[in-house]
C-alpha cells in the first residue's frame, strides 16, 4: 500500500466564482506540477465540467473524481462524488430538478460555461449555480447514499455555508462519508468546539478557485491504488486503507 495525495475540492470555469483560468487542461497540468494523485471536481450545484477533466486526467496519470459541491436548502455546502458516468448523469438530472429557476447575471456573478479539452464552449448554464437547492441536507445525503456515492460536508469549520454555521452540529443519522475542513482550520480548536467531528474521517482540501491554490491543502491517504473505491474504503478505515492526515505547506498538519 502507498500514500497518495488527494485534493477533493477544486472548482472549474463553470463555477461563477472561479477564475476563467480554471480550464480542464490547466487544472490537470497544475495538479501534475503539485504532484497530486487524485483530484475531485466540485463545481457549485453542477457536475457538467467534471467528465472532461476526468478524461484529461487519465492521460496525465491523475485520477479525477467526478461530482459537485452542492448547496442544500439549509445553505450547507457538501461535496458529492460518484463512481461512474451513469450515476453522475443520474445525479445531474436530480440537480436540474432541484435547482431553483433563478437566472444567472454573468456581469454580477460571473460566467457559467463548461468547455471541451481545447477550451471550446460546450454549454452555458442559465440558472444561477450558487443558490440553494430545494432539498435538505438529509434528503440529498440519502439520495447520494442510495447511489453509493461519497457525501462529505464541506469546509465544516467555516463560519459560512457549513454544517456548523448553518445547523450547529451534524445529525448522527445523516450518512456522511467524512468531513472536510478548510485550508485555514485550527484542528485542535475545532475539535474542542465540535467533539463529534472525531467520529468521522477528516479530510483537507484546497477549495481552489484559481490555479495556484490547487494542492495548497490536501489529504494524504493510504491506498492500494488511487481510485474511487479505494478512497471510499480509506474514509471508512477499511482493510488497512486510511486517511493519514491533512498536509499544508508540505507538512502534516498537527495544530
Ligand atoms: Zn463551499
Ligand atoms: Zn468550494
Query: pLDDT, tens digit, for every residue of 66-87?
Result: 999 999 999 999 999 999 999 9
Q: 3-class secondary structure for 103-160?
A: ECCHHHHCCCEEECCCCCEEEECCECCCCCCCCCHHHHHHHHHHCCCEEEECCCCCCC
Nearest-ligand number for the alpha carbon of 154 = 1
CATH 3.20.20.140 fits 2-252, yes or no: yes
Nearest-ligand number for the alpha carbon of 42 = 2
CA 200 to chain CA centroid, nearest Å: 17
Instruction: Tell me how far the alpha carbon of residue 133 lies from the centroid of ligand 2, in angstroms.
Output: 15
Contacts of residues 86-89 at CB distance under 8 Å and 24 or more positions apart, as own/partner, are: 87/147, 87/148, 87/149, 88/47, 88/50, 88/51
Q: Helix 50-59 crosses helix 85-98 at what angle (to 10 degrees)? A: 160
Of the pLDDT bands very low, low, confident and very high (cuts 50, 70, 90), residue 250 is confident
Q: Would you state the pLDDT for residue 139?
A: 98
Q: Would you state the pLDDT for residue 254?
A: 66
DSSP state, 46?
B
Helix (H) or strand (E) holding 244: strand 242-248
Instruction: Tell me how far the alpha carbon of residue 120 lies from the centroid of ligand 1, in angstroms.
Output: 27
Asked if 98 and 70 touch (Cβ cutoff 8 Å), the reply is: no
Smallest Cα–Cα separation from 1: which of 247, 243, 241, 203? 241
Of the pLDDT bands very low, low, confident and very high (cuts 50, 70, 90), residue 255 is low
Instruction: Tell me how far the alpha carbon of residue 209 lies from the centroid of ligand 1, in angstroms.
Output: 10
Enumerate the domain spans of the chain: 2-252
Strands 63-71 and 77-82: antiparallel
Instruction: Tell me how far the alpha carbon of residue 155 lies from the centroid of ligand 2, in angstroms.
Output: 8
Nearest-ligand number for the alpha carbon of 160 = 1
Instruction: Tell me how far the alpha carbon of residue 240 lies from the centroid of ligand 1, in angstroms.
Output: 30
Q: Would you state the pLDDT for residue 136?
A: 98
pLDDT tens, residue by residue, 148-196: 999 999 999 999 999 999 999 898 899 999 999 999 999 999 999 999 9
Q: Would you state the pLDDT for residue 252?
A: 81
Nearest-ligand number for the alpha carbon of 22 = 2
Smallest Cα–Cα separation from 147: which of 64, 50, 37, 68? 68
Q: Would you state the pLDDT for residue 251?
A: 80
Amino acid at each position: 500500500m502507498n500514500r497518495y495525495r488527494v485534493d477533493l475540492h477544486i472548482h472549474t470555469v463553470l463555477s461563477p466564482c472561479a477564475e476563467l483560468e480554471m480550464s480542464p487542461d490547466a487544472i490537470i497540468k497544475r495538479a501534475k506540477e503539485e504532484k497530486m494523485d487524485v483530484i475531485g471536481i466540485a463545481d457549485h450545484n453542477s457536475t457538467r465540467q467534471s467528465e472532461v477533466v476526468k478524461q484529461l486526467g487519465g492521460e496525465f496519470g491523475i485520477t479525477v473524481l467526478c461530482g459537485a459541491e452542492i448547496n442544500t436548502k439549509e445553505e450547507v455546502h457538501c461535496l458529492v462524488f460518484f463512481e461512474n458516468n451513469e450515476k453522475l448523469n443520474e445525479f445531474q438530472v436530480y440537480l436540474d430538478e432541484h435547482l431553483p429557476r433563478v437566472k444567472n447575471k454573468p456581469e454580477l456573478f460571473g460566467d457559467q460555461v463548461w468547455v471541451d479539452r481545447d477550451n471550446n464552449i460546450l454549454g452555458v448554464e442559465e440558472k444561477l449555480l450558487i443558490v440553494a437547492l430545494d432539498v435538505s441536507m438529509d434528503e440529498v445525503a440519502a439520495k447520494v447514499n442510495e447511489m453509493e456515492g461519497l457525501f462529505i460536508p464541506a469546509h465544516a469549520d467555516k463560519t459560512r455555508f457549513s454544517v456548523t454555521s448553518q445547523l450547529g452540529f451534524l445529525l448522527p443519522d445523516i450518512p456522511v462519508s467524512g468531513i472536510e475542513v478548510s485550508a485555514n482550520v485550527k484542528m485542535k480548536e475545532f475539535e474542542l468546539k465540535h467533539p463529534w467531528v472525531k467520529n468521522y474521517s477528516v479530510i483537507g482540501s484546497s477549495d481552489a478557485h484559481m490555479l495556484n491554490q490547487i494542492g495548497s491543502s490536501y489529504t494524504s491517504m493510504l491506498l492500494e491504488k488511487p481510485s474511487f473505491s479505494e478512497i471510499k474504503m480509506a474514509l471508512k478505515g477499511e482493510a488497512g486503507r486510511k486517511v493519514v492526515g491533512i498536509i499544508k505547506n508540505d507538512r502534516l498538519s498537527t495544530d
